[in-house]
Amino acid sequence: MKVSKLALSLALVAGFGMTSPLLAQKNKKEAAAPAAWAPQLGKAFRNAAAPLQKAIQAKDYATASSLLPAATSAAQTADEKFVLGQFKLQIATGTNDATAQQAAVNEMIASGSGPADMKGQLLFYQGQFAYKANNFPAAIQALSAAQQAGYVTKDANGQPTQDLNLLLAESYFKGNQVQQGLAAVDQAIKAEKAAGRKPPQEWYGRAASMAYKAKVMPEVAKWTRAQVVDYPSAENWRSALVIFGDANRFDDQTQLDLMRLQRFAGALSGERDYYEYALLADKVGLPGEAKAIVDEGKAKGAYNASSKAINEIGTLAGTKVAADRASLAAAEKSAGAAANGRAALGTADAYFGYGDYQKAITLYRLALQKGGIDANTANLRLGMALAKAGQAAEAKQAFAQVTSGPRAEIAQFWTLWVDQGARTAS
């Protein structure tokens, strides 16, 4: 995730101007209203600081640096140490010395003084410096404190940004605290949406990637789905489903259910996807579906029509289709007389593969009624058939019954597809 690159020096100089604190001591009677923060500066410090301030205003940083020891010796109170830190910051900014900038910010915070509304900003920059130095625990501590202080980062136009949340998230990620990092990204996304803005796509991708690397599979599913919610392109559907599948390494039947969604979301891409799908379908005894996938990919120009590997699968499956289709009527009759729902489930799968979704719906319901089968599998596939038959509300009811195991997450993906209008790709 990218954190906007506001000029640190510009922001600090603009926010922490050096003229007012000293002039405030001289012009108390002239002030129309008391300042929000009026530092109490002793005579000794003002005498040492006056030539220092003059040199800084003249951008004579060499002279200013030579005057720092005297001002440092004179700075005894918290207010004086804070103002001294401001002087040091301006010199460091003028000389482009990042190390000195960091030291100055740390001194200002350590003084315990300064305007109350400046505390969060200082803590943010302290965290930024720590992050750049790869000191992630220190970055987390400072950025969390800035957050607690109510600090909100802003862009060059004064509009709020999520830089603090995103930098905190990256600090957590780099510090191997993935769950906390994901929570920070989630906070950033919620804040953007609350402000009426659409979070960038890369935020979702970053969260999903970190969850995947940490093998936190429920979070992988959550973030890939979230990305598809806001950015429902075929490419993002494919990315979400492939990452989810790779992360979980499902068995053949479960992977087939995932690839069916990939197909219907228009997210199959290239020979590899079509080959894997056709191979799975044929392997689990669904030659009609295997042949349909090969033919579909060829018609779309998704792969080289002369490809030997995928054509072999299509040919092999094709030799089984006639006999398989011819057996369905008898299989359906046997399923009705069976003591349990296993035959009904298998026959429903075959009808689904041939695109006869109404027949599949009837038999999936029969399988659930008879029992003796995995209800999560049957309910998921019932929902799939209902969705393809255009019965969205009923499909969502079926998906809601998938409550455990890997198919529970897959059912949520299917529900999302239904909510997005079930754009049929085949």
Q: How far apart are CA 8 and CA 5, in angstroms?
A: 8
Per residue in 268-289, pLDDT tens?
999 999 999 999 999 999 999 9
Q: How far apart are CA 173 and CA 166, in angstroms?
A: 10
Let me know if residue 85 belongs to a domain: yes
CATH of the domain at 408: 1.25.40.10
Other CB atoms within 10 A of residue 293 CB: 32
Residue 253 has what pLDDT?
95
Q: How far apart are CA 385 and CA 46, in angstroms?
A: 81
Domain boundary pick from 147, 182, 202 = 202
Residue 21 has what pLDDT?
40
Q: What is the mean pLDDT of residues 388-401?
A: 97
The chain-wide mean pLDDT, for the chain, equals 90
Residue 289 has what pLDDT?
97
Instruction: Determine the structural domain holding residue 353 and report its residue range.
Output: 338-425
Residue 2 has pLDDT above 90, yes or no: no
Q: How far apart are CA 254 and CA 273, in angstroms?
A: 16
Do 194 and 343 fall into the same domain? no
H or E element in which residue 192 lies? helix 178-194
Per residue in 54-107, pLDDT tens?
999 999 999 999 999 999 999 999 999 999 999 999 999 999 999 999 999 999
Domain boundary pick from 173, 202, 231 = 202
Q: What is the mean pLDDT of residues 311-338?
A: 96
What percent of the chain is predicted at pLDDT more than 70?
91
Name the pLDDT band for 27 (thresholds 50, 70, 90). Answer: very low
Q: How far apart are CA 214 and CA 176, in angstroms?
A: 9
Name the pLDDT band for 33 (thresholds 50, 70, 90). Answer: very low
Beta strands in 76-233, from DSSP E residues, in sequence order: none
Per residue in 115-171, pLDDT tens?
998 999 999 999 999 999 999 999 999 999 999 999 999 999 999 999 999 999 999
Let me know if residue 30 belongs to a domain: no
Domain boundary pick from 180, 202, 224 = 202
Residue 9 has what pLDDT?
35
Residue 421 has what pLDDT?
85
Residue 426 has pLDDT above 70, yes or no: no
Is the separation of the CB atoms in 90 and 18 below 8 Å? yes
Provide the token pair at 182. 């994901």
Residue 321 has pLDDT above 80, yes or no: yes
Let me know if residue 330 belongs to a domain: no
Name the pLDDT band for 422 (thresholds 50, 70, 90). Answer: low
Residue 32 has pLDDT above 50, yes or no: no
Residue 24 has pLDDT above 70, yes or no: no
Residue 221 has what pLDDT?
85
Name the nearest CA neighbour of 269 among 240, 300, 243, 291. Answer: 300
Residue 423 has what pLDDT?
54
Q: What is the mean pLDDT of residues 286-300?
A: 96
Is the separation of the CB atoms in 86 and 21 below 8 Å? yes
Let me know if residue 229 belongs to a domain: no
Residue 425 has pLDDT above 50, yes or no: no
Q: What is the mean pLDDT of residues 287-297?
A: 96
The 10 Å CB-count burial string (b at 16+, else e) for 156-179 is eeeeebbbbbbbbbbbbbebebbe
Residue 3 has what pLDDT?
57
Let me know if residue 308 belongs to a domain: no
Q: How far apart are CA 215 and CA 193, in angstroms?
A: 28
Let me know if residue 262 belongs to a domain: no
Let me know if residue 34 belongs to a domain: no
Residue 233 has what pLDDT?
92
Let me know if residue 135 belongs to a domain: yes
Indicate the number of domains in the chain.
Answer: 2
Task: Calculate helix-pair angle for 252-264, 270-283, nearest 10 degrees.
Answer: 130
CA 19 to chain centre: 44
Q: What is the mean pLDDT of residues 23-46?
A: 63
